[in-house]
Amino acid sequence: MAEGEASYQVFAVSDGTGGTAERVIRAALTQFEKNVGVLRFGEVRTVEQVRAIVRQASRTRALIVHTLVTAELRQAMFDEGRRHHVETLDLMGPLLGRLSDLLEVSPLARPGLYGLEGYSRRIEAVDFALRHDDGRHLEELDQAEIVLVGVSRTGKTPLSIYLAYRGWLVGNVPIVLDLEPPGVLFRLPREQVIGLNVEAGRLTRLRQTRAMRMRGAARNYADPGYVREEVRYARQVFRRGGWREVSMTSKPIEEAAAEIVALVGRQRGK
């Protein structure tokens, strides 16, 4: 059955994107074996919008769950809900009240700050990752929260971008056989540097595939013996720096990113 044909409906209403309210609703719904449609209403900034949503909920007997931050809109939602016999659940108001008491300051009551802050952080992090890709701007590497190191084709760049989209400031630096790594790496906190390794046979196949598409590749780029030496040298460097390692052999980026965040976060917790 399509979501619009669900037996029950819940409205996720917000003066921001509505993503937070929807995620909370869907998390709660996992505990019920019922077909429930979730409709999101974002950018709700006026009392008129609130009234229209409540009237729609009244027609479909929907429950409204909202994260409105302005007192006026929360009150309007409460009043309109009572007027039209619609159940409304305020996720934000009680929390804002408790925090206001604790912090002894009134909330800003500015809609969309959570989503805007997260978006701005991601933009900043992606820009940082691009600027500090492949060993560029080493003099700024101390600003990074995570630094990925490894030989070519170990997934440093895509992993950096993925982590950046999750809000982390990430740089990456290549390890080249018999070339001393940049000294700045050894001056960084050890827990911030993560060595990426790939099983030599797997790495050779990756490079052979790329070499067929890439002109001007070094003659030994995909040579099995050379690749084995590169992998061995990289692991020596990792041990010398005291850096934790993450295997990228047959591992999706999402899984590797979660492992890295767990390592960095665990160390920060200590």
Domain-terminating residue out of 34, 68, 103: 103
Residues 129 and 258 in one domain: yes
Q: Could you tell me what percent of the chain has a pLDDT over 90?
A: 62
- The answer to whether residues 97 and 8 belong to one domain is yes
Over residues 143-180, the pLDDT tens digits come to 999 999 999 999 999 999 999 988 899 999 999 998 99
CA atoms within 13 A on the CB side of 193: 25
What CATH number corresponds to the domain at position 162? 3.40.50
- pLDDT(3) > 50: no
| Residue 121, pLDDT score | 78
| Residue 74 sits in the same domain as residue 187 | no
Q: Are residues 256 and 151 in the same domain?
A: yes
Q: 124 or 169: whose pLDDT is higher?
A: 169
User: Total structural domains in the chain?
Assistant: 2
Residue 49's domain is classified under what CATH number?
Answer: 3.40.50.10550
Identify whether the C-beta of residue 198 lies closer than 8 Å to the C-beta of residue 206: yes
CB-facing half-sphere around the CA of 266: CA atoms within 13 A: 7
Is there a contact between 174 and 148 (Cβ–Cβ < 8 Å)? Answer: no
Q: What is the mean pLDDT of residues 171-193?
A: 96
CA–CA separation, 3 vs 11, rounded Å? Answer: 12
- How many Å apart are CA 114 and CA 108, to the nearest integer? 12
Strand partners, 10: 38, 63
Within a domain: residue 204?
Answer: yes
Residue 111 lies in a domain: no
What pLDDT shows up at residue 261?
A: 93
Find tokens 């933009």 and name the residue: 123
Nearest residue to 47 via CA among 81, 74, 16, 83: 74
Q: Pick from 46, 74, 103: which residue ends a domain?
A: 103
Tell me if 184 sits within 8 A of 138, measured CB to CB: yes
d(CA 55, CA 76) in angstroms, rounded, equals 13
Domain contains 17 = yes
Q: Which segments within 120-253 are labelled E, that is strand?
A: 146-150, 170-174, 193-197, 244-247
Are both 46 and 124 inside the same structural domain? no
- In this predicted structure, the answer to whether residue 214 has a pLDDT above a threshold of 80 is no
99-109 pLDDT, tens per residue?
Answer: 777 777 777 77
Whether 72 contacts 47, CB under 8 Å: yes
pLDDT, residue 23, reads 86
Same domain, 122 and 252: yes
Segment 227-253, tens digit of pLDDT: 999 999 999 999 999 999 999 998 888
Range of the domain at 137: 118-269
Chain Cα centroid distance, residue 99: 26
Residue 169 in domain? yes
CA dist 242 to 187, 229, 235, 238, Å? 11, 20, 10, 6
pLDDT of residue 30: 87
Is the per-residue pLDDT at 224 higher than 80? Answer: yes
Based on the domain organization, do 144 and 265 belong to the same domain?
yes
Secondary structure, 3-state, 67-99: CCCCHHHHHHHHHHHHHCCCCEEECCHHHHHHH
202 pLDDT higher than 50: yes
Same domain for 169 and 194, yes or no, is yes
**Nearest 5°: phi and psi at 16?**
-105, -135
